[in-house]
Structure 1
Amino acid sequence: MDEILSVAVDNLTSPMVMFFALGFLAAMTKVDLSLPQPVAKTIAMYLMLAIGFKGGVGMAGTGAGLSVLTPIAIGIVISALLPFIGYQLLRLSSGLSAINAAAVAAHFGSISIVTFLTASQILVDRGQGGEGILVAVAAAMEAPAIVAGIWIAARYLKKNPQEQSTGSQDLSMREAVFNSSILVLIGSFIIGWVVGPEGLSEVKPFIMDPFKGVLCLFLLDMGAIAGRGLMQNRKVLDLGVMAFGLYMPLIGAGIMALAVWPLDLSIAGKTLMLVLAASASYIAVPAAMRLALPQANPAVYVTLSLGVTFPFNLVIGIPLYVALANWLY
C-alpha cells in the first residue's frame, strides 16, 4: 500500500499529469485550451519520432534474438486476444449492440502511445528506464486488435446481413498497420537503432531536451479534448460501458503481468508491458473503425477510450501498474 501511495503521489504531482488535469478541468468549465489541429498533429509527430528514436538507440548493438522477439510476440498475441475478452464482457454487461461492442473491444486490445510515453517518462523520473525494444512492442500491438475487432464484427454481420452498412469499406492490412503514427514510430526506431548513441548526440538538443515540455503541452491538449468529449457525449455511455472502461485496463494488465513473468526484462520494462496491455487506443483504432465499421457509433468508443480510460490510466492506473510490477518482480 505504501508503494502504491508513493507512486500515486509522484504521479499526481508530475508536470505531465498536472497539465492533463488543467486541460480537463478547463474543458469542464467550458474554457477551451485545445491546440489548433495542425499544431497538435505536429507535436504528436514529434513525440512519436522522439520516443521511437530513443528506443532504437537503446537497442543499438543488440541482435534480433529471443530476448527481442519474445516480448514482441507476446504483445501481438495479447493485442489480438483482448478484443475477444472485451467483446464478451460488453455483451454481457452493457446495452451496446454487437457492432458497437466489437468496435469498443478493438480499442482495448490496441494501445495508447501517449499513455506509454507518459508512463515511460514517469519511470525515467524515478530512475527506472525501460528497454528500447518496448517501442517495437508498442508498434506491434496496434494492428492485431484492429483485425480482431473487425473479424468479430464481420462474423456477426455474416449471421445478421440486414445490419450491414452500405457505407462500409474493407480495411486492408496496409491501412491497419501503416498509419502515420506507427510509420513514424517504426521508422525513427530503425534510424535510432542504426545510428546508435553517436547519432543521438548529434540531435540531442532536439530529441532529448524539449521532450518533457512538449509532452506536457500535448497532454494539456489531450486533457481539453477528453474533458470536452466527456461533457458532450457522456449520455451515450451507460453504466455497464463506463464500468468496462475502468475494469478492462486492469484485466489487460493482469493478463500481461502473467505473460511477462518469465521474460528477461527489467522491472521498468515489465511495467511498461503492463501499461501497453492496459491502455486503449484513441487515434489509430478510431480511424480504422470509421472506415471499416461506419455503423458503429464513434461517440461511444472515442468517449470511452479518451474520456474515461485515458484519465483513469494516467491518474490511477500507472501507479497501480508500477506498484504491481515492483511487488511481483
Structure 2
Amino acid sequence: MNNFMDPAILFFLFGVGAGLVKSNLEIPAPISKFLSLYLLMALGLKGGFALAQSGLTLEVVKGLGAALLLAIIIPLAGYQVLKKLTGPFDAAAIAATYGSVSAVTFITSVQFLDGQQVSYSGHMSAAMAVMESPAILLAVFWVNSVRTQTATTSNGQVHSLRQTLHESLTDGAQLLLLGAMLVGILSGDQGKAMMAPFSVDLFKGMLAFFLLDMGLTTAKNFPNLKGQSPWLMAYATLGPLIHSGIALMVALALQLSLGDSFLLMVLAASASYIAVPAALKLAIPEASPTLYLGLSLGLTFPLNIILGIPFYFQIAQKYVA
C-alpha cells in the first residue's frame, strides 16, 4: 500500500489539517496517554513473543550492539556540530533529542513493514529501548562540564549523572515496553494466542487514533519554528538523513536483514519528543524547550512519518541483499 494511502498516515495528515485551521477537535490528555501506553505494551508483547521463538542468537547480539553504537555516535557527532550553531546548553539538549528515538515513528515503521510483508526481528523493540537513554546521559555530562567551568548553575547544583540515570531507567514508558517484552518471552506461543485480540487486532486502529492526536499536536508546534536559525532548521531536516545513512552502513557491516536494517535506519533518523524532553526539562533547565521540542515535533517527526519511512525503506531495499 502506498504510504500516503495508509489509514494511519491519513489520520495523521487529517490531524495536522484540523490543527492548522484552528479546529476545536482534541484528544483528551488521559486518552492520549492511554493510547501511547497501549502501543508500547503491544509492541513489547510482539517483540517478546518473537524473542521467545528465536532465543538469544548472534542476530540479537548484533542488533542490540548496533543500536548501542548508534546511540553513542549520533549524539556525539551532533553535539560537535550543534555547539557551533547555538549555545552549549541548547546544543546539548538538541543533540540528546536527536540522539534518542521516537517510539511512535518506530511503531509506525513496524506497521509499514507488516503492510509490505517484510519480516523483522522481535529484538528490534529492545534495540529501541537501548537507544533511549545514552544520549541523555551524554548531554548531562556535557552541560555539567560547562557548569563546572563557569561555576554557575540555574539552581545552585549540578544535576548528577546518577540522578539522571535513575530517571531514565525508571521512566514509565520504557519500563512498560521492557516489562511487556518480558511477559511475551515468558508466556511464549500460548500468551501470543491469548493476547492476539488485544495486541494484534486492535493495533492498527489504536495507532491511527494516536497519530490523529499527534497530527493535532504537530500543528500546534509549527509556530515554534518561526524565527529559528535556518542552520538549526537544516539540521532538523538533513540530520535524520545523515543519521539513517550511518545506520545503514552499520547494518551492512553487520549483515543485518532488510527489515532490521530498515528499522535501525528509522530509529537513527528519529528524534524523541516525549521521554527526552521530559528528562531535559529537569536536567538542563537552561535549554529552551521551544527550540528542541519545536524542531523535533514540528519538523522532524512529520517529515519522517510522511516521507522518511518509505524513503528509508527504498534505500534499504537498494543496498541490503
Fold conserved (TM > 0.5)?
yes
Aligned to 1:4: none
Aligned to 1:326: 317
2:89 and 2:155 map into 1 onto residues whose CA distance is 14
Task: Report how far residue 253 of structure 1 moved.
Answer: 0.5
1:204 and 1:61 map into 2 onto residues whose CA distance is 16
Alignment of 1:39 with 2:31, yes or no, is yes
CA contact 1:110–1:142 (8 Å) conserved in 2: yes
Which stretch of the first structure deviates more once superposed, 190-199 or 25-34? 25-34
Closer, same or farther: CA 32–265 of 1 in aligned 2, 3 Å: farther
How many percent identity over aligned positions?
A: 37
Task: Report how far residue 243 of structure 1 moved.
Answer: 1.0
Alignment of 1:272 with 2:263, yes or no, is yes
1:313 and 1:112 map into 2 onto residues whose CA distance is 10
Task: Report how far residue 272 of structure 1 moved.
Answer: 0.4
2:146 and 2:76 map into 1 onto residues whose CA distance is 13
Aligned to 1:239: 230
Aligned to 1:107: 97
CA contact 1:82–1:109 (8 Å) conserved in 2: yes
CA contact 1:236–1:299 (8 Å) conserved in 2: no
Aligned to 1:249: 240
1:103 and 1:236 map into 2 onto residues whose CA distance is 19
* Counterpart AA for 1:307: G
Which stretch of the first structure deviates more once superposed, 254-263 or 209-218? 254-263
Decide which of 294, 298, 307 is 2:298's aligned counterpart.
Answer: 307
1:149 and 1:76 map into 2 onto residues whose CA distance is 16
Task: Report how far residue 157 of structure 1 moved.
Answer: 2.2
CA contact 1:230–1:307 (8 Å) conserved in 2: yes
CA contact 1:33–1:221 (8 Å) conserved in 2: no
* Counterpart AA for 1:296: A
1:156-211 alpha-carbon deviations (Å, 9 max, x no partner)? 2222234x211764333121122111101000011111111221111211111010
SS at structure 2 position matched to 1:327: helix
> TM-score under structure 1 normalisation?
0.92
- What is the alpha-carbon root mean square deviation over aligned residues? 1.5
2:87 and 2:38 map into 1 onto residues whose CA distance is 38
> TM-score under structure 2 normalisation?
0.95
Question: Structure 2 regions of 5+ residues with no counterpart?
Answer: none
1:266-285 alpha-carbon deviations (Å, 9 max, x no partner)? 21111001000100001110
* Counterpart AA for 2:90: N
* Counterpart AA for 2:110: S
Task: Report how far residue 264 of structure 1 moved.
Answer: 4.8
Alignment of 1:222 with 2:214, yes or no, is yes
CA contact 1:271–1:321 (8 Å) conserved in 2: yes
Report the count of equivalent residues.
317
Question: Structure 1 regions of 5+ residues with no counterpart?
Answer: 1-8
Task: Report how far residue 301 of structure 1 moved.
Answer: 0.8
2:98 and 2:275 map into 1 onto residues whose CA distance is 12
CA contact 2:105–2:305 (8 Å) conserved in 1: yes
Aligned to 1:15: 7
Decide which of 58, 69, 76 is 1:66's aligned counterpart.
Answer: 58
* Counterpart AA for 1:306: L
